[in-house]
Every structure is written in C-alpha cells, then in structure tokens.
Amino acid sequence: MTKPKVLISDKMDPKAAEIFAANGCEVDVKPGMTPEELKAVIGEYDGLAIRSATKVTEDILEAATNLKVIGRAGIGVDNVDIPAASARGVVVMNTPFGNSITTAEHAIAMLFALARQIPMADRETKAGEWPKSKYMGVELTGKTLGLVGAGNIGSIVAARALGLRMKVIAFDPYLTADRAVEMGVEKVDLDTLLARADFITLHTPLTDETRGILSAEALAKTKPGVRIVNCARGGLIDEAALKDALDSGQVGGAALDVFETEPATASPLFDAPNFICTPHLGASTTEAQVNVAIQVAEQMADYLTTGGITNALNVPSLSAEEAPKLKPYMALAEQLGSLVGQIATGNISSVAIEVEGAAAELNQKPITAAVLAGIMGRYSQSVNMVNAPYLAKERGLEVSEIRNQREGTYHTLLRVTYVAEKGKRSVAGTLFGSDAPRLVELAGVNIEAALEKEMMYIVNEDTPGFIGRIGSLLGDHGINIGNFNLGRRAATGEAVLLLSVDQPIGQDVIDAACKLESVKRVKGLSF
Ligand SMILES: NC(=O)C1=CN([C@@H]2O[C@H](COP(=O)(O)OP(=O)(O)OC[C@H]3O[C@@H](n4cnc5c(N)ncnc54)[C@H](O)[C@@H]3O)[C@@H](O)[C@H]2O)C=CC1
Ligand SMILES: O=C(O)C(=O)COP(=O)(O)O
C-alpha cells in the first residue's frame, strides 16, 4: 500500500514531521509558500497540516484532488473554507486544547502590559528618557474584567483573573448558568458587560455572529477609559472605530495580538495612544507548539491510516468509548444506504433514518451520515461521511431522524424509509451477534440476508419452479450462487429474491432474467 502524503505548509514544531513519519506517512515540510505555489503542489497530498498563515480557500481546495484531511495545529479555523472542504469530503480537524493555557497567559500578560504601560515605559527608558513621572498605572485587583466568550481560553483567563482578585463578568450566549457558577463568573448580556467592565478581553471564534462584536456602537457603550485586550481574532473589533476611541480617550488602552489583516505591517492603530500589540503570538510558546504539533500529527495520521476521527469540525467525531460500539452500525448504515441508492427508482426526495432498541442508545449523527454516504454513492464515487450530508442537501434530499427506544422484533434495528418515484419504501437491518450486519426487510418484505459484495435482486410473481429457472439461467452464464434468500409479500403474490453471486451481474444476465416468465424487476447490486 502506498503511504499517504502529508504537506506541512506552516512553521510547525519538528515533532509533527517525526510523528507523521513514525506513523506511516510521507511528509514534506514547506512553510511560507505563496498561494500559487501551494496550489501548484497540493494535488499530490492526502493531508495538509497548517497553522494560521496558510489560507485554505476554495481555489486551493479545487486543486486539492487527493486531499482527505486538513489538520490545524491550533484552534481557530477561520483561515479554512470549511463548507468548501466539506463539499469535497475533506475532514477539517483542529487541536482544541493544546495552546489554550498559553493563549490565556498571553491575554493576562497583555492585561498587565496595558495596566502598567510596560512596552512604552521600556522603550522610552532604553532611549534614555527615564519617564518615571509619565507613567502612572492602575491596579488589576478589585477591577471588573469583562469576558466576551467563556469557552476553553476564556475560562482559563477567568480563573487567572479571579486569582488576581478581579471580579469577572462574562457575555457568552452559550454559557449555562451552572457553568458560570462553576467558573465563579457572573453571566451578563453584552450591554451590561460594556457598561460595567474596566477591562474587556475577547475569547470568541471569528464567525458571522462575532465579526465586529466591538463595533463603533459597542465601543460607545463602554465605560470611559476601558482597556481592551484581543488575543482571539482580528475582525472581532472594528479597528478604525478602535483608533477613534483611543484618540478620544473613550478607550483608555488596547492590546491586540491579532489583526483584521495579517501580517499587519502597517496600521493607523500603531500611532494611537496606549496601544500595544504583538504579532499573533498568543499560541507561541515552546510548550503549546509541541502540544499542537504532536496532537495534529497523531490525529491526521490516525485518520489517513485507520480512518479514526478525532476533533473534526465538519463530521461527527467518535469518542474512544463510542467508536467501537458504533463501528458495526456504521457498516450496516452504509450498506442499507447503498442498497437504497441502488434499488430506488428515479429521484429520491426524502429519507427517514430510524434507530430502534439498542441502536437508539447511540449517537445517531454518524449513523445518519453513513446512511447518506451509502445513498449518495449513486450520484458520485467520491462520497464519504463528510460530504454526503452536503451533497444530500444540494440535491434537495429531505433527511429526518427517528429514535425509538422500545425494542421491536429485533433487539436492535436500523430502518431507512425513502420516497422515490414509486412511492414510499423501506429497508431495515439488524446486527447478529452484536457486530454482523443483516438485512431483515427489503421493500416491505421480510427477508434475512447478509449483504455481500456482488448480489442479484429479483422481484417476481410467486410461481412454482421459478427458483429452478433462475438457477439454471445463472448456471448457463457461468455464475456461481453463494447464497439464496427469499421473501414473500403475501397480499400481492410477489416474491423477492436476493442472491449472492461470485461475480458482478452483467447487463446480458439482467436482460435474460427479465425475459423469464413472471419476472417483474431485476437488478445487479454491489456493496
Ligand atoms: N492569539 C492566538 O494565537 C490564539 C487565538 N485563539 C482564538 O481564540 C478563540 C477562542 O478559543 P477557545 O476558547 O479555545 O474556543 P472555545 O470554542 O472553547 O470558546 C469560544 C467561546 O465563544 C463563545 N461564543 C460563540 N459565539 C459567541 C458570541 N456571539 N458572543 C459571545 N460568545 C460567543 C462560545 O460559546 C464559546 O464558549 C479561537 O476561536 C481562536 O480564534 C486561539 C488560540 C490562539
Ligand atoms: O490556535 C489558534 O487559533 C491561533 O490563533 C494560533 O495561531 P498560530 O498557530 O500561532 O498561527
């Protein structure tokens, strides 16, 4: 088997390359490429490991014909076009914890630097000015810190700030009341935070919702003289408005680690009073860089060599505990989806995925994604669990999920009901002996069969002697039958035959079978 090829396109701790190599990947390290250079080579690679400098745009992804995974050695993925990656079936993963302490510490360093104007004092002292009477600072103790975003980094900042005897208030629409109590912070709305905070620190991702969260309007609502720290993302603060607010004194100081456009080699902010900045150094400590490099390489190599998914942002991740339980269901789900994709006539307009009994105890999202991957295989060969939900949406396929805790005939059951040209039909399967997928219902008929690599599906009027006739026909074509499964729909007098065969069923066999008396429908199936 050829080794998967990985490109590291940003500066990354050498541990990443070592781990890729030790885990069966070929690896190239080429930091600092231009977008054109990246576009020219990306087609060769199965994996792309990045930090924040590489911009993975739709244009790059278009050229990334072999790409299976993008790994972000860090947290923010606003430099990756995730919808475009998803549409191409590329998994996007990050390392959500490796640099959070380091970044929180940088935010605290910025708070102190602002409160005591350390960079300015340092610069002027070294210039021989001894500006002792110029710089009067403020204490952090007793001041109110307003946290915008109380996730991993925000909560570490809160803990450190509480240790500094600050009062911490937080605005985060997704912060629960219990978690706020656990963190020792007061949950407030944004306007309250703006009105009450002496210091504001931002810790949200950059999204459509958070872009410009500190707009001119928001800055006007702050406590006069507020000091602002942004170690999250450029774009959260309106930089022009911040410059005006610093000039007017409405904002008493600002410390930015991140800018709307990076690298920020020039900015009107550079001349503003009490303005401090660092060149996106939030995650730059030896410890954090080793953490994220190791983690991203392990995760990507795992995906490329075993299919294991950790910390993915565009496909349901499976925890170590869930993965072994879900694995046989995923195989069953993909088989049932593929069966639907192969037997449905015409366009499929909707699909309902139902889990019953033991299956209803599981995380249903990956099961749904696997069913969709099976179904969408009828349209394209490059479908996987990542792009199947997107492709389904694009084609207007309506998807619903049903969970039935109560056990029916089987201790565990997965049913896929679809609507296509011939109306509503369903297929269902169970697991035998906890991990062997078995089909138990096909187009409303009870049947019991393992879905094997090559099969033949026949619907016929239930007449005596038919099985013999089909057996002879296949024999005449030199096709060996492995398994013979039969089901009957009593009310209509129809029978369903599902045969496993040793080779794919060709059109000549299908044509010959269609000519047999009482045959209604014949299809070759492959799994
Ligand atoms: N400067 C640097 O080098 C680094 C910057 N970062 C940035 O820090 C960000 C935060 O990282 P984590 O805390 O690990 O992420 P996280 O996902 O754990 O926390 C983000 C928090 O923001 C909250 N949030 C989302 N939308 C919001 C809104 N509209 N208003 C208020 N809160 C909102 C979420 O509920 C969540 O609690 C990252 O997305 C990344 O952009 C991360 C690492 C290093
Ligand atoms: O992890 C993050 O979100 C960061 O912003 C760190 O960025 P970097 O890897 O230092 O370019």
Does the beta carbon of 110 lie inside 6 Å of ligand 1?
Answer: no
Does the beta carbon of 147 lie inside 6 Å of ligand 1?
Answer: no
432: containing domain: 316-451
Tell me, yes or no, whether 302 and 379 share the same domain: no
What spacing in Å lies between the alpha carbon of 523 and ligand 1's midpoint? 52
Tell me, yes or no, whether 348 and 462 share the same domain: no
How large is the C-alpha radius of gyration of the chain?
30
Rounded to the nearest integer, the mean pLDDT of the chain is 94
For this structure, is 280 an active site residue?
A: yes
Does the beta carbon of 98 lie inside 6 Å of ligand 2?
Answer: no
Which listed residue (227, 280, 415, 438) is catalytic? 280
Whether 517 has a pLDDT exceeding 90, the answer reads no
Q: Could you tell me the end-to-end alpha-carbon distance of the chain, in angstroms, rounded to an integer?
A: 22
* Backbone φ and ψ of 4, nearest 5°: -65, 145
Does the beta carbon of 257 lie inside 6 Å of ligand 1?
Answer: yes
Tell me, yes or no, whether 163 and 244 share the same domain: yes
Kindly state whether residue 483 falls inside one of the protein's structural domains. Answer: yes
Residue 440 in 3-state DSSP?
Answer: strand
The percentage of residues in the chain with a pLDDT greater than 70, rounded to a whole number, is 99
For this structure, is 378 an active site residue?
A: no
Tokens 């302490």 locate to: 101
Q: Whose CA is nearest to atom 2 of ligand 1?
A: 282
pLDDT: which is higher, 159 or 462: 159
Residue 385 in 3-state DSSP?
Answer: coil
Q: How far is it, in rounded angstroms, from Cα 427 to Cα 505?
A: 22
Which of 72, 75, 313 for mutating ligand 2's site (highest number of atoms within 8 Å of CB)? Answer: 75
Q: Whose CA is nearest to atom 7 of ligand 2?
A: 52
CATH, residue 12: 3.40.50.720
Does the beta carbon of 256 lie inside 6 Å of ligand 1?
Answer: no
Tokens 């609502």 locate to: 221
Tell me, yes or no, whether 413 and 434 share the same domain: yes
Does the beta carbon of 208 lie inside 6 Å of ligand 1?
Answer: no
Q: How large is the average pLDDT for residues 432-452?
A: 91
Last residue of a domain, one of 451, 482, 501: 451
Q: How far is it, in rounded angstroms, from Cα 173 to Cα 186?
A: 13
Question: Which tens digits make up the pLDDT trace of 216-269?
Answer: 999 999 999 999 999 999 999 999 999 999 999 999 999 999 999 999 999 999
Tell me, yes or no, whether 106 and 228 share the same domain: yes
Tell me, yes or no, whether 247 and 125 share the same domain: yes
Tell me, yes or no, whether 425 and 301 share the same domain: no
Q: How confident is the model at residue 379 (pLDDT cuts 50, 70, 90)?
A: confident
Amino acid identity, position 40: A
Whether 320 has a pLDDT exceeding 70, the answer reads no
Tell me, yes or no, whether 270 and 129 share the same domain: yes
Kindly state whether residue 282 falls inside one of the protein's structural domains. Answer: no
Instruction: Specify the ligand 1 atom closest to the Cα of 150.
Output: 37
Which listed residue (233, 415, 425, 438) is catalytic? 233
- Number of domains the chain is built from: 4
- 151 burial class (0-12, 13-18, 19+ CB within 10 angstroms)? middle
Residues written for the chain: 527
Q: How confident is the model at residue 464 (pLDDT cuts 50, 70, 90)?
A: confident
Question: pTM (2 decimals)?
Answer: 0.82
Which of 99, 183, 204 for mutating ligand 1's site (highest number of atoms within 8 Å of CB)? Answer: 204
Q: What's residue 171's pLDDT?
A: 98
- 379 burial class (0-12, 13-18, 19+ CB within 10 angstroms)? middle
Q: How far is it, in rounded angstroms, from Cα 418 to Cα 186?
A: 49
Give the ipTM.
0.99
Does the beta carbon of 204 lie inside 6 Å of ligand 2?
Answer: no
Does the beta carbon of 74 lie inside 6 Å of ligand 2?
Answer: yes
Tell me, yes or no, whether 30 and 133 share the same domain: no
Kindly state whether residue 311 falls inside one of the protein's structural domains. Answer: no
What spacing in Å lies between the alpha carbon of 147 and ligand 1's midpoint? 11
In the structure, how many helices (H) and strands (E) does the chain have? 17, 22
Q: Enter the tokens of residue 299.
A: 């995760």
Query: Strand pairing partners for 56?
Result: 80
**Alpha carbon distances (Å) from 161 to 176, 223, 282, 312, 401:** 20, 19, 17, 31, 44
Kindly state whether residue 37 falls inside one of the protein's structural domains. Answer: yes
Q: How far is it, in rounded angstroms, from Cα 514 to Cα 205?
A: 59
